[in-house]
């Protein structure tokens, strides 16, 4: 899943995060918000998981997030998203599937 990390807040439709453009909010949970986005370079739909700033600033939470992304990326199953990318910009972090 391609990913991009930024401070969590509800992002308006059309917001651009690098090559990704937000289409809609899918959901949210304890680790952040998930958005449907368009990969404008590869013309494909992706899910972006965006971490809140307070979690992104916590090194233990960040390590857990990266560990979970690596574990998920090692799996190959039709019912599990493929992790394409994790990325951090300054103090912001996220993942793309």
pLDDT attached to residue 58 = 86
Could you tell me which residues are beta bridge partners of residue 89? 92
- The residue-averaged pLDDT of 41-63 equals 87
Rg (CA), the chain: 12
DSSP-derived 3-state class of residue 67: helix
pLDDT for the residue numbered 21: 94
pLDDT at 42: 94
Phi-psi region of 52 (alpha: psi -120 to 50; beta: other; left: phi over 0): beta
pTM of the predicted model as reported, rounded to 2 decimal places: 0.76
Structural domains of the chain ordered from first start: 4-96 (3.30.200.20)
Res 64: pLDDT: 86
Q: Please, what is the Cα angle at 64 between 80 and 20, to 5 degrees? A: 60
């Amino acid at each position: 899943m391609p990913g991009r990390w930024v401070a969590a807040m509800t992002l308006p439709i059309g917001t651009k995060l690098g090559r990704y453009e937000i289409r809609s909010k899918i959901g949210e949970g304890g680790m952040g918000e998930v958005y449907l986005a368009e990969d404008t370079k590869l013309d494909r739909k992706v899910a972006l998981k965006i971490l809140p700033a307070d979690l992104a600033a916590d090194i233990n939470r960040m390590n857990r997030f990266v560990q979970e992304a690596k574990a998920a990326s090692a799996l190959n199953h039709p019912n599990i998203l493929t992790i394409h990318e994790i990325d951090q910009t300054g103090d912001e972090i996220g993942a793309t599937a």
